[in-house]
Every structure is written in C-alpha cells, then in structure tokens.
C-alpha cells in the first residue's frame, strides 16, 4: 500500500482519528500495531507470517543476551538470532543469485544445475532484517534492555511509516518512544503533514517524471545512445533516486511525527558534498550509521592500522552493495565506492579541498554520478556500453523525442539540490526563521504541492519507490 494511493489516503484519516481517540498508552499501541500489521499484510500476506515467526524467535533469545546469562550462552543466543534473520534474507534475496553463478561456473563441465527458488522478494526485507539485528546487538552490548513485551517488539518491527523503505531504525533510539508513545499535539500534526507534503511532492512531481524518461533510456540498447542523451539520462537518474528515496523518508518522518514519534533524518543535502566521505555522511544516513556501528567498528574500524582500515572500508561497502541487490552491478557499485573512500583517505579529499568548494563539489558529484550509472545498469555488459555512450564512443541511432517535462523537472531538481551550496542559502534560512510572512507562504506552497501531487497520483500510472526492492 503506497502512501499516496487513494486507498491509503481514504483509510488513514479514519485510522488517525481512532488513534487520537484511543485512551491510554496500551490502547494507542494496539491501534498502531494492528494498523501496521494490516498495512504490511495488504502487500505481503505470506511473508508477514514468516516475519512474525522470526520476531517470535528474536524476543525470547533477547533475554539470554545480557547478564546474568553466561558469556557462552549470550554469544550463542546472539549467533542464533543473527543467523535467523540473515537466513531469511539469504533465502529470499541471494539464493537464486548464488545458484545462478554456481551453475554458470560449472556449466563447462556439464555438472547438474542447481534448481532456482524463484521467490518473490518481499518489500523492504533488507530494512526489516537490519532493524531486527539492531535489537539483538543492542541488547547484547547492554545499550538497551529487551522490549518490555513481545508486542512492543512487534511494533518496533512493523511500525508502518518506515516499514517499506526506512529509515533504518536502531532499537535503542526507539525503545522509550515505543514503550510509552507521547500525546500527539497540534504542532505534531502540522509539522508531520507539511513534511509529508514535501515528500509526496519530491516523489510525484520530480522523481516520477524523471523516472519515466530514465526507464525508457535504460531499457533501450545503450549502443544506440549518443553522449548527450546518455548524460541527460544519467543526470535525470541522479536526481530521480535522490528525490524518490528522500521523498519516502520525508513521508515516513512526517507520518511518524503525526503519530507522536520522532525519526532521525535520513538525508542531509548530499549533492553539495565536497568529497565521497562527506557524501556518505549525508546520503542514506541510517544505512551508513548502521554499517559503521554494526559492521565497521566490530571489524576493527580504523584502530588497527591503515591497511586494515582500507580493508574494512572495502568489506563494508562491498556488503553495502550486496545489501542493495543480488547482482554483480551492485557488487561493482560497492567496490567503486570503497575505492573512492580509500582514495579520500590517501589523498583525494585533501586534493579536492585545495581546489576550492566549487571544483570539489563538481568533482564529487561527477564521481557520484558515475557510481549511479553502475547502480542503474542492468548488467556489467550494459554498464560498459553505457559508459561508452557517455564517452561518445557509440554509434547513436536513438533519436526519440525527449518529453517536454524532463528539462524543466531536471532544472528544478538541480536547483533544489544545489541551492544549499550557494552563498545566499544561509540568508534564506535566517529570513525564514524571522519572517512570519515567509513561513506562511511556505506552508501555503506545501499545501498546493500536496494537492498537485495527489492529482498526479490519481491520473498518471504509479511508479514504485526505487528502494521498495531492497
């Protein structure tokens, strides 16, 4: 169920009224838990049963993860919980990928082929698995105690605003909010609705028009593209993936705030970054902090010398690539980012800093865009031909007309993305903070954006959020 489809927009007001009218913490939590379960059940009626069964295994294990349980028992319980969750991810996401590669490797020898499972990938499975692991690890580390009740833990796992595409929540950051949801105030509704409006505008008025063009270009033979069309498609995808994913995060944060919950930010103006290191501090913040806290630091982080630090970075970003999808393109994308993070530590970040902010921002954005070409291509062969098209080395035959809305949307998206890098952006923020008329105008604009986005949602075929497949 999408946040902007008519069914959700029809049902949500009734649910919201029931949530506000519920008396007491327990009643509100039950209303929210039932609604969250039905929300996910609507799209994943089979997997929700597996998810609940896995959650039911996590919860009793969590009571053996801390004192007074012996250290050996704690480690065994943690290992069992992690295997339980990663096992689900492996079966649904990676089993066929590994079987395909195994079959390809053994095909010259006439070996028996491994059968493929052909399981549909449940929506948001990677987000859910990572969040469930945070619960186990946080308890093991003593950062937080096990959930007060099994239903509290279920609410953490199934909390519907973030369920499908994040942000990835850490249990210790949500424990108190889930244990005792606070009273919703008018300011929560106002902020939440306006944040939701910004998100739906980002998705439907910028990401989707660009996405239609991007899909048509990447579906074509890249050898038929000229350099101009290839770069236009790549620039469009660069903005599409940002406005699509950041738009979902806005909607999730907005809906959660309307319910009295505070979620952390997931994006911080990533395209104004002046190095790849800075970019990854600003892009998909919940994933990068998860990798830092639950993978990079346990591997040793930067505490065991330069060579080990570089190895740890590569491991983390190779696994980050695989987290995004079971495809060699995602592995290449992870390796590509690991390479530039290593180069940043060696010399690149200092070199870009000496070049000044404008050149550093342009160079970083160019590196990111080439990375997005790897991310968006269907296969390594498609990628190599597309990179040739970017270089002008292909024989262009694709002369189809570019939709009229693409140039305007591209300019608008670029302006919004790069505005924070300009010198007058701080003055604009100060004016907003001190000028009541400007704040009123902003509210009115967001309401108009909400109306326009809903109008587009009911008239134009929907495009799923890009990160739904992860």
456 and 108 Cβ atoms separated by less than 8 Å = no
- Separation of alpha carbons 87 and 442, rounded Å: 47
112 catalytic residue (yes or no): no
DSSP string, 111-152: PPPPPP--PPPPTTHHHHHHHHHHHHHHHHHTSSPPPSSHHH
- Separation of alpha carbons 26 and 181, rounded Å: 9
What is the per-residue burial (b if ≥16 Cβ within 10 Å, else e) of 374-384?
bbbbeeeebbe
Burial of 225 (0-12, 13-18, 19+ CB in 10 A): buried
Question: 295 CB contacts (<8 Å, ≥6 apart)?
Answer: 315, 316, 319
230 and 397 Cβ atoms separated by less than 8 Å = no
- Provide the CB-side half-sphere exposure for 342 (13 A, CA): 19
- Separation of alpha carbons 186 and 189, rounded Å: 5
Q: Which is catalytic among the residues 172, 324, 382, 395? A: 324
What is the per-residue burial (b if ≥16 Cβ within 10 Å, else e) of 35-63?
bbbebbeebbeebbeebeebbeebbebbe
Residue with tokens 């959930």: 147
- Separation of alpha carbons 300 and 298, rounded Å: 5
Would you give the distance in Å from CA 424 to the centre of its chain? 30
Peptide bond just before 68 cis, omega within 30 deg:
yes
63: three-class secondary structure by DSSP = coil
- Separation of alpha carbons 156 and 254, rounded Å: 17
Residue with tokens 């850490």: 170
13 and 137 Cβ atoms separated by less than 8 Å = no
122 and 92 Cβ atoms separated by less than 8 Å = yes
- Separation of alpha carbons 333 and 338, rounded Å: 9
- Separation of alpha carbons 272 and 269, rounded Å: 6
- Separation of alpha carbons 87 and 22, rounded Å: 38
Active centre residues (catalytic): 324
């Amino acid at each position: 169920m999408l946040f902007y489809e008519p069914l959700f927009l029809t049902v949500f007001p009734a649910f919201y009224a029931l949530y506000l009218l519920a008396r007491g913490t327990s009643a509100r939590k039950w209303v929210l838990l039932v609604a969250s379960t039905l929300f996910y059940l609507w799209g994943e009626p089979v997997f929700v049963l597996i998810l609940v069964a896995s959650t039911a295994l996590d919860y009793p294990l969590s009571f053996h993860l801390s004192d007074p349980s012996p250290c050996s028992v704690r480690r065994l319980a943690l290992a069992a919980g992690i295997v339980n969750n990663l096992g689900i991810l492996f079966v649904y996401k990676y089993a066929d990928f590994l079987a395909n590669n195994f079959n390809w490797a053994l095909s010259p020898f006439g070996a028996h082929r491994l059968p493929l499972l052909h399981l549909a990938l449940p929506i948001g499975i990677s987000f859910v698995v990572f969040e469930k692991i945070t619960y186990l690890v946080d308890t093991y580390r003593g950062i937080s105690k096990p959930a007060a009740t099994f239903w509290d833990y279920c609410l953490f796992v199934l909390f519907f605003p973030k369920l499908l595409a994040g942000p990835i929540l850490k249990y210790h950051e949500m424990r108190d909010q889930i244990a005792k949801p606070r009273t919703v105030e008018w300011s929560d509704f106002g902020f939440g609705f306006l944040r939701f409006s910004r998100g739906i505008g980002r998705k439907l008025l910028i990401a989707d028009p660009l996405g239609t063009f991007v899909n048509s270009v990447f579906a074509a033979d890249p050898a038929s593209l000229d350099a101009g069309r290839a770069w236009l498609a790549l620039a469009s995808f660069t903005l599409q993936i940002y406005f699509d994913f950041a738009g979902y995060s806005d909607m999730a944060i907005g809906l959660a705030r309307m319910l009295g919950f505070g979620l952390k930010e997931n994006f911080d103006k990533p395209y104004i970054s002046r190095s790849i290191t800075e970019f990854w501090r600003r892009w998909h913040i919940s994933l990068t902090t998860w990798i830092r806290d639950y993978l990079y630091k346990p591997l040793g982080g930067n505490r065991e010398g330069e060579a080990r630090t570089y190895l740890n970075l590569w491991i983390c970003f190779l696994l980050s690539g695989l987290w995004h999808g079971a495809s060699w393109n995602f592995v290449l994308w992870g390796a590509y980012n690991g390479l530039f993070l290593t180069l940043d530590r060696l010399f690149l970040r200092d070199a870009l800093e000496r070049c000044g902010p404008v050149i550093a921002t342009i160079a970083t954005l160019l590196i990111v865009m080439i990375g997005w070409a790897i991310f968006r291509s269907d296969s390594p062969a498609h990628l190599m031909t597309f990179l040739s098209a970017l270089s002008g080395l292909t024989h262009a035959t694709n002369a189809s007309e570019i939709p009229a809305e693409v140039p305007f949307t591209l300019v608008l998206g670029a302006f919004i993305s790069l505005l924070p890098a300009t010198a007058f952006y701080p003055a604009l923020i100060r004016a907003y903070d001190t000028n009541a008329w400007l704040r009123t105008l902003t509210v009115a604009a967001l309401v108009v954006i909400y109306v326009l986005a809903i109008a587009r949602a009911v008239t134009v075929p929907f495009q799923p959020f890009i990160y739904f497949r992860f």
